[in-house]
């Protein structure tokens, strides 16, 4: 049986992403160069995802565009939820992704009440009320969506920096929302 995964903000080829820091000034990406970062993500992806699995990439795939070719090395069926850095024409992405969308409504199965909305940027909390159980998103890198002083449990951050630079199984996401 094929598995489903999510990942966000790989930023393949993006040297500037190596300088991203958390609120304490600590580097978010512990790599000496962009090639090391790219190879780590590719290796983690292929060690996790099989050829028949599906990966929802929640945006900010590559910067610059020539790095798109790297996607041919990644296992699985790939679906893109476009991010703010995924500029360009649809044809730029359609040769690497089976589908390209702005958002995606995902219903994990009969054992999970309610659906999830997959987006790049976290949706406003009012958009979740009565419509979705939660939002699986990217964009914020290490930051969590907060509800006053606590992380808002209606949001799952799929950014690579939060998930060991590895795609996350939908079962892990379901467990998160079930707790």
Query: pLDDT by residue (tens digit) across 94-149?
Result: 999 999 999 999 987 766 767 999 999 999 999 888 888 999 999 998 888 888 88
Q: Hunting for tokens 């969308």 — which residue is that?
A: 101
CA atoms of 70 and 96, how far apart (whole Å): 9
DSSP string computed for 98-163: SEEES-EEE---TTS-S-EEE-SSPPPHHHHTTT-SEEEE-SSTTPPPEETTEE-TTEEE-BGGGT
CA atoms of 169 and 6, how far apart (whole Å): 7
CA atoms of 133 and 125, how far apart (whole Å): 11
How much is the pLDDT for 142? 87
pTM for the full predicted model = 0.94
Q: The domain that contains 114 carries what CATH number? A: 3.60.21.10
Distance of CA 97 to the CA centre of its chain: 14
CA atoms of 93 and 98, how far apart (whole Å): 9
Question: What is the domain extent for residue 169?
Answer: 4-178
pLDDT at 37 over 80: yes
How much is the pLDDT for 13? 96
| Nearest in space to 67 (alpha carbons), one of 108, 139, 11, 149 | 11
Percent of the chain with pLDDT over 70: 98
Domain count, the chain: 1
């Amino acid at each position: 049986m094929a598995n489903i995964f999510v990942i966000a903000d790989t930023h393949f080829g993006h040297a500037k992403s190596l300088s991203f820091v958390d609120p304490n000034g600590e580097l978010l990406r512990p790599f000496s160069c962009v090639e090391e970062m790219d190879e780590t993500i590719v290796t983690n992806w292929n060690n996790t995802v099989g050829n028949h699995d599906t990966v929802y990439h929640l945006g900010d795939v590559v910067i610059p565009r020539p790095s798109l070719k790297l996607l041919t090395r990644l296992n699985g069926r790939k679906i893109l939820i476009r991010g703010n850095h995924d500029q360009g024409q649809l044809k730029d992405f359609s040769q690497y992704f089976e589908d390209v969308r702005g958002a995606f409504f995902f219903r994990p199965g009969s054992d999970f009440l309610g659906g999830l909305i997959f987006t790049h940027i976290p949706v406003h909390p009012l958009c979740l009320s009565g419509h979705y159980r939660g939002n699986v998103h990217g964009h914020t890198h290490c930051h969590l969506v907060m509800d006053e002083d606590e992380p808002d449990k209606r949001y799952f951050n799929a950014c690579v920096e939060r998930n060991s630079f590895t795609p996350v199984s939908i079962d892990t996401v379901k467990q998160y929302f079930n707790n």
